[in-house]
């Protein structure tokens, strides 16, 4: 609890995590591990099990908070204005530090009890959905080559004292889109002389709403959301361009590709129908979480050891992204 409350008081964002990293380094300092920084804004801790282990198992925790002002009134509330650990990464780090303490004690007191070396990975920028890719690009695993990586996320929907373990798809792919229609501005009294991108983009918004209902099967899962519309001037004239942004969430690669193709076709088709030109940007943000069937037993056994086998549940698929 001390780890979580201490970390909750010092939330930091994205890759800018100096206090968080310093706290983690301080918690790891008394332990018999090798602390490394394979890339800026990340921390790794390697424990040699001392039994001639040929590979490592990695445990990952994310470190960043959200740009939210905390108003909980808690005694351990954020001391950084406009920042809060509202997504539970303080808890993730606390659990990883507690697990590191357990690994350290077990290696010292029960030689041979842990069969694999253990690598703890503290990752930045999960909220921006860039941190994992960033660490992989910096070859974070090149030295220790873990054969498996375990992570977790708090899930308030599960009762306290239970753990959710599921093989296969668990959390969604996330893709963004930005679509701009360019027309011809003019006076509202002469619509025949104008090419109004506002009307065109409004038509596209309604067309995009049909993709999920008409192109995704009833037993498949996907969400398409238009998040912003930028267009217009007050009262008198039409403008040259209008733009929408949004995102797409899906669980399977073929469904994802189907939706992206429909977005592309609808955007260009609608622009042509209304006499506009179209600028389209499809933005891959993160892949979905797909858990290995071969690691299901290890995760389930670990959950059962802590919470009891009756408290290991199969969680519902979550359309948020990790």
Higher pLDDT pick, 99 / 157:
99
For residue range 107-142, what is the model confidence (pLDDT) as tens digits?
999 988 888 899 999 999 999 888 999 999 999 998
What is the model's pLDDT at position 232? 85
Contacts with 303 (C-beta within 8 Å, 6 or more apart), sequence order: 163, 165, 311, 312
**Through-space distance between the first and last CA atoms of the chain, rounded to whole angstroms:** 24
What does the alpha-carbon distance between residue 148 and residue 154 come to, in Å, rounded to a whole number?
Answer: 20
What does the alpha-carbon distance between residue 103 and residue 46 come to, in Å, rounded to a whole number?
Answer: 10
What does the alpha-carbon distance between residue 76 and residue 5 come to, in Å, rounded to a whole number?
Answer: 6
Contacts with 262 (C-beta within 8 Å, 6 or more apart), sequence order: 211, 215
Contacts with 21 (C-beta within 8 Å, 6 or more apart), sequence order: 41, 43, 63, 122
3 state SS of 168: strand
% pLDDT > 70, the chain: 99
What is the model's pLDDT at position 251? 96
What does the alpha-carbon distance between residue 226 and residue 43 come to, in Å, rounded to a whole number?
Answer: 37
Angle at CA 182, nearest 5°, toward 228 and 255? Answer: 55
Which CA distances in Å does 83 have to 13, 14, 93? 8, 11, 17
Q: What token pair was written down for 322?
A: 């990790």
| Mean local confidence (pLDDT), 189-209 | 96
For residue range 209-260, what is the model confidence (pLDDT) as tens digits?
999 999 999 999 999 999 999 998 878 888 999 999 999 999 999 999 999 9
What does the alpha-carbon distance between residue 134 and residue 46 come to, in Å, rounded to a whole number?
Answer: 20
Confidence of residue 53 (pLDDT cuts 50, 70, 90): low
Inter-residue contact 154 to 95 (CB < 8 Å): no
Q: What token pair was written down for 212?
A: 């999920």
What is the model's pLDDT at position 54? 67
Contacts with 176 (C-beta within 8 Å, 6 or more apart), sequence order: 245, 246, 247, 248, 282, 283, 285
* Dihedral angle computed from the Cα positions of residues 182, 184, 186 and 191, in that order, rounded to the nearest 10 degrees: -100
For residue range 66-101, what is the model confidence (pLDDT) as tens digits?
999 999 999 999 999 999 999 999 999 999 999 999
Confidence of residue 144 (pLDDT cuts 50, 70, 90): confident
Q: What token pair was written down for 253?
A: 């690669």
What is the model's pLDDT at position 203? 98
Rg (CA), the chain: 24
What is the model's pLDDT at position 322? 86
For residue range 299-317, what is the model confidence (pLDDT) as tens digits?
999 999 999 999 999 999 9
Using CB atoms within 10 Å of the CB of residue 159, give its burial: 0 to 12 exposed, 13 to 18 middle, 19+ buried. exposed
* pTM value surpassing 0.75: yes
Of 12-26, 81-95, 141-155, 172-186, minimum mean pLDDT range: 141-155
């Amino acid at each position: 609890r001390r780890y979580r409350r201490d970390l909750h008081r010092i939330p930091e964002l994205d890759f800018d995590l100096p206090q968080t990293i310093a706290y983690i380094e301080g918690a790891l300092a008394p332990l018999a591990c090798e602390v490394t920084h394979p890339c800026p804004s990340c921390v790794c801790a390697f424990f040699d099990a001392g039994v001639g282990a040929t590979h490592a198992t990695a445990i990952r925790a994310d470190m960043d908070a959200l740009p939210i002002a905390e108003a909980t009134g808690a005694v351990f509330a954020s001391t950084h204005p406009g920042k809060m650990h509202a997504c539970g990464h303080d808890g993730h780090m606390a659990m990883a530090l507690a697990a590191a303490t357990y690994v350290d004690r077990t290696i010292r007191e029960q030689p041979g009890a842990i069969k694999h070396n253990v690598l703890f990975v503290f990752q930045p920028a999960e909220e921006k959905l860039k941190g994992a890719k960033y660490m992989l690009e910096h070859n974070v695993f090149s030295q220790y080559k873990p054969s498996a990586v375990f992570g977790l996320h708090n899930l308030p929907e599960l009762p306290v004292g239970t753990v959710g373990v599921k093989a296969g798809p668990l959390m969604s792919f996330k893709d963004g889109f930005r679509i701009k229609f360019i027309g011809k501005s003019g006076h509202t009294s002469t619509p025949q002389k104008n090419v109004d991108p506002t009307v065109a983009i409004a038509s596209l918004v309604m067309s995009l709403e049909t993709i999920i209902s008409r192109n995704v099967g009833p037993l498949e899962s996907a969400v398409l959301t238009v998040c912003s519309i930028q267009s217009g001037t007050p009262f008198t004239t039409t403008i040259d361009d209008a733009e929408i942004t949004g995102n797409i969430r899906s669980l399977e690669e073929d469904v994802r590709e189907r939706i992206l193709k429909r977005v592309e076709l609808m955007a260009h088709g609608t622009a042509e129908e209304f006499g506009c030109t179209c600028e389209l940007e499809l933005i891959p943000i993160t892949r979905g979480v797909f858990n290995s069937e071969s690691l299901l037993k290890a995760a389930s056994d670990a959950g059962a050891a802590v919470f009891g086998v009756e408290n290991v549940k199969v969680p519902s698929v979550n359309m948020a992204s990790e």
